[in-house]
């Protein structure tokens, strides 16, 4: 924009002797970027000397063109506007995008080849929310299954499971997570163990519970509310510097670009 303005403004004033003399005397002088910035910031409310304005615009022309070319080259290399989730319009799909992607990352045996990097961060986050829970170690015995036993993501371990109910966009069903938790708690293996019931929403809302569910102290003690806005963003962003694969790192970074969609929600 500055370059086009320079071309348009300089044409009618090139015959002015002061400007022409200045151009002949200092053809290679470096641009004063601070002066240009001050000029642009004050342009709407200040009385600008036309000669000074033309000199600054002429002086900055080559540098603006160079910066523009560098910007185009950088954008061609980085493609900052590209996001595979948005291009394919998959960013709103709860089951086949969000649940599937998180289950893929949390699986320590997954093909992302990052081991327990994501699982460790997830378990640590749960322990912060549930301090008295004895979390199993993030070892190879975890089995992570999306859409298993009607649960969005089931993380199974010989020492006890984790139930994750994911609500990116779907409406909650009353006592849905409570029913899943109760079903697993009836299993004789887990009757005396804690079963973290994770309720994941965009902003950390709680589930729709009946009075019976609220009166179940064991369930309320096991209930963990997580949000995409804070928890998933923190888990994945904290893991990014340790990701060894360029492809996985780029995929996670593109997924994190979806998180601002939750910032303005109450």
Per DSSP (E only), the strands in the chain are: 143-148, 151-156, 162-167, 197-201, 223-227
Euclidean distance between CA atoms 174 and 200, whole angstroms: 15
Q: Specify the pLDDT at position 85.
A: 87
> What are the pLDDT digits (tens) for 93-131?
888 899 999 999 999 999 999 999 999 999 999 999 999
Q: For helices 50-78 and 2-10, what crossing angle results, to 10°? A: 150
Q: Is the model's pLDDT at 180 over the cut of 80?
A: yes
Q: Which residue, 16, 1, 23, 26, is CA-closest to 50?
A: 16
What value does the mean pLDDT take over residues 45-55?
65
Q: Specify the pLDDT at position 143.
A: 95
The sign of the CA dihedral 57, 62, 67, 68 is positive
Euclidean distance between CA atoms 30 and 28, whole angstroms: 6
Q: What is the pTM of this model?
A: 0.72
What value does the mean pLDDT take over residues 192-204?
92
Average pLDDT for the chain: 82
User: Three-state DSSP class for 152?
Assistant: strand
Q: Which residue, 264, 261, 105, is CA-closest to 169?
A: 261
Which tokens hold the place of 181? Answer: 């938790």
List the domain boundaries for the chain. 2-78, 88-262
């Amino acid at each position: 924009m500055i370059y086009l303005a320079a071309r348009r403004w300089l044409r009618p004033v090139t015959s002015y002797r002061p400007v022409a003399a200045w151009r002949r005397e200092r053809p290679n002088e470096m641009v004063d970027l601070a002066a240009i910035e001050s000029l642009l910031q004050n342009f709407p409310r200040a009385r600008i000397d036309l000669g000074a304005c033309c000199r600054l615009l002429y002086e900055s022309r080559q540098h603006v063109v160079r910066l523009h070319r560098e910007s185009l080259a950088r954008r061609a290399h980085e493609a900052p506007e590209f996001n595979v989730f948005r291009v394919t319009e998959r960013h709103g799909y709860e089951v086949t995008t969000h649940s599937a992607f998180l289950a893929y990352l949390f699986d320590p045996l997954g093909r992302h080849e990052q081991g327990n990097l994501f699982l460790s961060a997830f378990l640590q986050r749960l322990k912060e929310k549930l301090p008295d829970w004895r979390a199993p170690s993030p070892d190879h015995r975890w089995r992570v299954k999306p859409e298993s036993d009607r649960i969005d993501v089931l993380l199974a371990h010989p020492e006890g499971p984790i139930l994750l109910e994911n609500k990116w966009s779907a409406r909650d069903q009353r006592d849905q997570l409570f029913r899943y938790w109760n079903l697993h708690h009836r299993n004789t293996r887990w009757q005396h163990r804690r079963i973290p019931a994770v309720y994941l929403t965009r902003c950390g809302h709680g589930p729709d519970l009946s009075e019976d569910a609220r009166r179940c102290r064991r369930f309320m003690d096991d209930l963990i509310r997580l949000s995409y806005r804070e928890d998933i963003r923190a888990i994945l962003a904290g893991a990014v510097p340790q990701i060894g694969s360029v492809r996985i790192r780029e995929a996670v970074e593109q997924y994190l670009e979806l998180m601002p969609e939750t910032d303005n929600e109450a």
